[in-house]
Structure 1
């Protein structure tokens, strides 16, 4: 954008061009006097920030409605002194009378300087409609010896054969005007930039925003507001109502801040109206529009984000220590499962690392940026199960939080829910879980609002779920919903190649170990031959014991054997007929289960008890372990 200078004659224009050469800004200099300046100003209106002009030309442009800011060339004391010196030379007398004929804006400037010159000067003020010839004749009749004024005064006086001197704008006046114009131009650029920034913000904001006058006429709105109003009655040629619909007019008519939910066409909309007051009176109103459904979605997202902290998967497949081909094949299968959204049922004995696999699957999936919510179904009392899983609203039950609480499925929206020990879930809640899996929706306790949820379910169990289904303690339909993909993690005793790498990893990672502990060859043999009924968890506990008490840099077989879980040794030494806590299985049932199973460990899983407990049941019932082919 440029600065436009409209000057009354060629001499001033030439002087202005010379002085403005040093300016970094584009300067346009044109010649125009009074009404001649108006078409020039309009011609450059779109490419100029400010106009510089003087005298009556400024008044004419303002009267013509030129919107571009105008800076006036001022009359300095030096300009006036030079003109007075020329007037004295023209009259060639010491005592002479001077008539100054100028427009009102220039006259006011001269009034500030003339008293200091102590000369016989009379002022004749012009307006745009003044007959200049008549003004000159009046000055002559008043006995003026010489006239002073602007270019138009000089031109008309010359035609009337009256001596006249032009009051020019000198270098000081020009430099001052340029400096002022630069300031105004900079301020306009900043204002335009702020206006454009505000426009971009309002156009890209998710809410509809519109501004109206007190009559309900819309004078500004963003694209979202246009979408809300499109298709409503009283349309203009663009298809958007230029006036507020009746529903909105009633809201702003109160002149107070108002919030209300209304219907606009087929939409339910939250409307906020804020009156804009100027000097105590309402001058306009700002109205914001939000679709109710989007507000509800944001509220749900806020709740989930508020509770998201801490619900993150900590493990990845890279963190799993594995060298055994059996384990590597399971990892490869789990990675393939991670690329789907299907439910997964992970099977395996206690301590094999089912949750680590679940976390790794989540971390590898497209849901990795969202929540991973783990829940141990065996660790939650039945009375709290439903509220933890599905959440509740205020007043749902005694001692409920005032603002309610989101359930784990809400928190895990677009993420993963890991249900460990799924076989321990109460039967009534299995039906509610089944609905979540089938319909992808749920309700909080005490609420009647359906909440859509998008979660991937990974369940895990160390029990034989088909056996539980046959016993009627687990729903058959839920089992098949969970068992879309099946991942079985083998016990540690079946992947012996992993034992030593895992032990080395745990020893190096232990906080109790102040030195690197090596495993002797005999120690390695002991570890590989141990059955590890507690699987990886037992091995980790063993390594913690080693780190705590081992004083040497190498662990030998004798110390390793003494530190192994004593329960494993005890389970093989149960006396026949020894009392068993809460025996619930008949001799026939135990034998039948053993016949169906490949090992005692598998039989224990089918019965839903630990191997140690099964050995005690067998001993109590007098079943000879020699008849059991695999321990």
Structure 2
């Protein structure tokens, strides 16, 4: 703890020894070490103070009378005057009245008051000469001399001047313990205020100088009162040349005086200054609705983009970056268009989202797209496959742990994935696989926005958005007591049900084309043609593995293809037994009907083209459509 002696730097200027001794007693009682300047004349006292302030900051000066006035004139340091009482003046008069007939009392009006009115009570003539500055002391003594006073009572300056005129001087002594203690308390109070002000000023200086943003402030007249170093570097303007200059002259493009007039905040404005694009935020300083000034903070747009790039790179190194966007989601079917629009709306809020869909329907692609469309896009995206982590690791990975939490724990402990997702999104895939006891801890995260590392009693506040996904029916698991009902309702605030590939067969040709382009490049193959019957046949399967399975099949087709053509023979060779064993082929009527539907969609409902694709004539197509009640 800092010693109180180190905290206060107070000077006490004593005009006589008894005053100094009393000050020593008071300082000892208060536990404060005070620097006492003893018994010097006025000029030497000034020099003594000047010497001391060269080496340290002086918080306050305690003295009295004319010395106090002189210190106020010479230094920008708080001066506390020791109170002079009427009793102090009467004591000084009492010391000389036995030897003289006429006494001149010189002092300031607030000190000597109407002292001459006491003449009749003291049985001596008292002439009061009031002064308003120490410069008037000499003239006051001269006047007293002309009035033929026998002695002068006053402060040190008055007494010293009286000696020059050959007049006896009696010093008004102020050495009462109470008066000096009172001045000490006031000095401490002022010293505290001064230190707080200096600390605030230094704090503001450090904030403005250490911040990575440019900061400019103006007064009500539009004159620049603050221009930090960063502002100078961004705008290529020396701060000393900008201070106390009109802001519209130095940086006309900022329109900061307009902010004064409008009395409104203006954020995220992009302006061009000296061929640099600046991101600008402005706000007026309002007191009782009166604009007393304005402040602007700003950054170099190019620098912001560079920092964002570095942040993304750092997140990428940790694997906490979402690479997919809504543009990555393929498909023109109505069902997919509707789901994408709903997901975009969901991305604009922070509510929990539950995504349900079969394996391979693109649940994580949607989760990443939602993150990248949200206000959290610059934060981390942490994906967790709850089924891939063994139970023994799942809890420690999600919530983290402290040193020595369990055997094998890292020496320094570890932040959990929830902590790593702070200010971003965490994606919990296969949420149905989380054990019940871990579900209870997850519920607390959702309810309180807090996590607790394993082995720690400290609570950590986090700000995350939770998106979870499953291919199972959680309502059924609740009935089987395998999933907490309260957690389900916390996770399922917003929900998205992704369709299977067989529910959006019109999108299959788009996927085929996309995967052929992707896999051709990957395997350095050139594919110039895909037989229509291949696309038609691929569109009739049920695809239990959905898009992921289709991608695998297309990759095999690309690898197996010859002469840049994917033919029906290639398809038959690739499929083999997979059709009957893994792809749950539809029955003959379903296949026929689905084949006709696909052919019509591929031909934009042109029956002539559809019949040609199917290898039948238009009349046969018409009969088949009638048989299956197809319009």
Greater Cα radius of gyration, structure 1 or 2: 1
Q: So what's the TM-score if we normalise by structure 1? A: 0.49
